[in-house]
Amino acid sequence: MFGRARGAGDLETEVVETEPGTARMATAEASAGPLLVVDDLHVGFPTERGLVRAVDGVSFRLEHGRTLGVVGESGSGKTVLSRGVMGLLPPGAVRTGSVRFEGREIADLAPDALRDVWGAEIAMVFQDPMTSLNPVVRIGRQITEGLRHHLGMGKAEARETAVALLRSVGIPEPERRLEQYPFELSGGMRQRVTIAIAISCGPKLLLADEPTTALDVTVQAQILNLLEDKQRERFMAMVLVTHDLGVVAGRADHVAVMYAGKVVETAPTAELFAEVRMPYTEALLKSIPRTTDPSHTRLAAVGGRPPDLVDLPAGCRFAPRCPYAQPRCVAEEPPLRTDTGSGHAWACWFPVGTPEGDDALARNVRAERPQTLAAQA
Amino acid sequence: MSTLLEVRDLVAEYAAAGGNVVHAVSGVSFEVREGETLGLVGESGCGKSTTGKAVMQMPRPTSGSVVFDGVELTELRGEELRRVRPRLQMIFQDPISSLNPRRRVHDIVGEPLEIWRVGSQPGREAKITEVMEAVGLDPAVTGRRLPHQFSGGQCQRISIARALVLDPTLLICDEPVSALDVSVQAQILNLLEDMKARYRLTMIFIAHDLAVVKNVSDRVAVMYLGKLCEVATPDALYAAPAHHYTAALLASVPVADPSVRPGLVPDALRGEPPSPLDPPSGCRFRTRCPRAEERCAAEEPLLREQSPGHLVACHFPLGPTE
C-alpha cells in the first residue's frame, strides 16, 4: 500500500494512520488493506469539439464496510466516476489511471474477466430501476441469473435464495413477485428488487448511483435505510453517488465533493459540514433551502454555471463563479491538499474560514467585484 | 386581502383501461388570496399537478367550481374562456421541452403578444425587452438564439419571461425547479420571488420538495391521494404538523446536517400510497397511518379549522405538544 507512486490528487494516503477512528479500522483490516484504491483516474469522451474531460484525475481509497459519499451537480463527473471504477463505460471512452480492488488492478481487465467481478465482487444500483431491470424478463429470473452464474446454484436453490432475498429487502409476497414483470411493481418496489439483485452474490462493494433520486421522499427514506441495513449486515462498502447533500450528510462516513471532473474537497462527513474549506462546497450548502429556515428566506444562489469540459479554464475551475477568487485562482490550478491528519483535503488557494480566505473575500467585497457575470449569459 | 381564486369541491377523474376510473383529485377546496403564494405539496400521484391544470381549465375538471376574480371558469365556453386565459399563466417542470426548439428566444417570449395582438409593434418590442431583462436575460445577446443553446436554468428563465409578458394576475408554477441543480434552483426561486413583487403576482407553487415549498409560500396545502390533508402557514405547518402524513413527510426529508440522525420514519409509513384507481374508504391515509382506527375507515375526516388558519382533515390530529 505504500509502494505505489503518489498522484497529485491523493486523498487519504497515510492519513489513515493518524485518525483515531480509522486507525482502528486500518489495524483490523491491516492484512486485507483497503478495499478499493483509485489513483489518478481520468475518463474522457472524444467528440467533434474535442475531448470531454468528464473525470479528470480523481484519487480516493475506500476501506471495507465504509461509505464514501460522492456529491456533485449535473456534469460534475460523479456518475462517470462510478462507472469508470466499475469499468462500465461506453465504447470510445478513454480511461487512464489505476483502479485497485483488494490489491488487484481491475482497470485493465478485459470485459470477459470483468464479468467475474461484476455482481460477484462489485455491484451497482442505478437511478432508474425501470431501465436497469429487463422489462420482458420475470423478476425471478433476473435475480437467479447471478446466483446461478456466480455461485453455481441449482435452479431450486437459486429460487429459494431469491425468495429470501426479496423478503430481506422488504418485498411482500416474494413468491408471487418472482412471477411478475418489472412494470407490475411500483418504483420503490422495483428499486428494492434491484438492491436484492445487487446484493445477491455478496459483493464487497456496492456502487449506488443516485439510488433514490427517482423516488418520493417517504420511499427514499425507506430505500436509504434498507441500503444501510444491508451494508451493515454484510460489512459491504458503498460508494453513494448523489446530488443531494442531505442524503450523504446522514449516511456517508466520508464525503468527496466533485466539480467539473475533479474532487475539490473531501473530508470525514461531520468535519466537512462543520469546517467547509472549499468555496464551492460552501456555496452548495448555502443554496439549499431548509425546512428550518423561515419562509421567504433569500437563498444564496451561485451565479453562472460550470465550465465547458472540452475547454477548461487554466486555473481553478470554480474561479469564474467564486466569491473568494483572486488573480492567482485564474492563473494557477490549486492542488487537492491537506493540512490536518483527519483526511480533510481541499483544492483552494483561499480556503473558507482561514485568514487568507477571509482576506480574499473582504478584498472582493471592497472592490465590489460582482460575484459573477455568468448569470447573464 | 381579498380572495382571487376560490376552488370548491374540485374533482378530476380520468377513464383508465378496463372501465376503471383514476380518481386523481377527489373533492379539493381552497382559496388563494390576492398577492399570496399558496404552496401545494405532495408526492407523485397525489393530484397536485392535476389540481393546477384543472384551475387552468386544461383540461376542465370533472366537477366542482373554480371562481377566478369573481368569474366561474368552469361555466365559461369558447371565446369567453379564451379572454380570461391571459390572466392565468403556467410554467412547467421541464423547461427545455416546454419551449419550441425551432423558434428564437425573442419570438418565444413575444409569441403571446402576437397571438393577442397586444399594442403596437414598438410597444411589443419594449415589453419583450422589459421582461427579458427582468428575468436576467440580455435581450440583445440571447434573443436571437435557440432554446438548445441554453442550460436548464436559462430555459426556465425564458419560460418565466414568456409567462410574464401578458401581465398575468395568477401564475401557476408546476415543479418549476425540480429538474434543476441546487445552485441553479436557488437562482430561480429568488427570481420567482422578485417577479412576484415586481409584477404583483399571485402564485400557486406546486412541488414535491418541502423545503422549496416552505421557502416561497405564504400558506402551504399538503395533498395525499387526491385530497387535502392539511393547510396552514409554513411556520405552523413545519413546526407543528397536525396531520400524521405531514409529520411523516417532514420526518423523511434528508437534512444536510450530519448531526441529524436520518431514518426515523415511522414504521407505519413503510409501504407506498395506494392506487388512485381504488382509493381506500374513509381517510385515504389510514392504510399507512400509525394512528388509524375503525372510525378512519368508516368516516371520511373533513378539512376543519383546528386553530385559526390551520386546517386539518384528521379524526385524531397531532396536538401542538406531541
To test the contact with chain A by mutation, choose from B182, B229, B261 the residue with the greatest count of A C-beta atoms within 10 A, namely B182
Instruction: Find chain B residues with C-beta within 8 A of A246's C-beta.
Output: 253-256
Average pLDDT in the A335-349 region? 89
Q: Which residues touch A75 (CB under 8 Å, ≥6 apart)?
A: A260, A306, A309
Q: What percent of chain B has pLDDT over 70?
A: 96
Per-residue model confidence as pLDDT tens digits over B92-115: 988 888 899 999 999 999 999 999
Q: Would you place residue A370 in the very low, low, confident or very high pLDDT band (cuts 50, 70, 90)?
A: low
Grid cell 382571487 in the structure block, residue: B4
Q: Which of A104-113, A251-260, B163-172, B213-222 has the lowest mean pLDDT?
A: A104-113
Instruction: Answer yes or no: is pLDDT of A24 > 60.
Output: no
Looking at chain A, how many residues does it have?
A: 377
Residue contact B193–A296, C-beta within 8 A: yes
pTM across the whole model: 0.86
Per-residue model confidence as pLDDT tens digits over A167-189: 888 888 899 999 999 999 888 88
ipTM, two decimals, is 0.84
**B176 torsion bin: left (phi>0), alpha (psi -120 to 50), beta (else):** alpha
Give the mean pLDDT of chain B: 91
The pLDDT value given to residue B255: 86
Q: Would you place residue B265 in the very low, low, confident or very high pLDDT band (cuts 50, 70, 90)?
A: low
Q: Would you place residue A256 in the very low, low, confident or very high pLDDT band (cuts 50, 70, 90)?
A: very high
A253-to-A22, A233, A320, B79 alpha-carbon distances in Å: 10, 17, 31, 62
Q: Looking at CA atoms only, how far is residue B182 from chain A in angstroms? A: 6
Residue contact A285–B256, C-beta within 8 A: yes
Q: Would you place residue A13 in the very low, low, confident or very high pLDDT band (cuts 50, 70, 90)?
A: very low
Residue contact B189–A377, C-beta within 8 A: no
Average pLDDT in the B30-55 region? 94
Tell me the HSE value of B113 on the side-chain side, using a 13 A CA sphere.
23
Residue contact B183–A222, C-beta within 8 A: no
Instruction: Answer yes or no: is pLDDT of A11 > 60.
Output: no
Looking at chain B, how many residues does it have?
A: 322
E-assigned strands of chain A?
A: 36-47, 50-62, 67-71, 94-101, 104-105, 122-125, 205-209, 237-242, 254-259, 262-268, 337-338, 345-346
Residue contact B256–A249, C-beta within 8 A: yes
Q: Looking at CA atoms only, how far is residue B83 from chain A in angstroms? A: 33
Q: Looking at CA atoms only, how far is residue B209 from chain A in angstroms? A: 8
When CB atoms are compared, the residue of A218, A300, A375 closest to B249 is: A218
Q: Which residues touch A13 (CB under 8 Å, ≥6 apart)?
A: A6, A61
Instruction: Answer yes or no: is pLDDT of A1 > 70.
Output: no
Instruction: Answer yes or no: is pLDDT of A76 > 80.
Output: yes
Residue contact A290–B181, C-beta within 8 A: no
Per-residue model confidence as pLDDT tens digits over B109-143: 999 999 988 889 999 999 999 999 999 999 988 99
The pLDDT value given to residue A20: 32
The pLDDT value given to residue B262: 63
Q: Would you place residue A200 in the very low, low, confident or very high pLDDT band (cuts 50, 70, 90)?
A: very high
Are A247 and A224 in contact, with CB atoms under 8 Å apart?
A: yes
The pLDDT value given to residue B111: 94
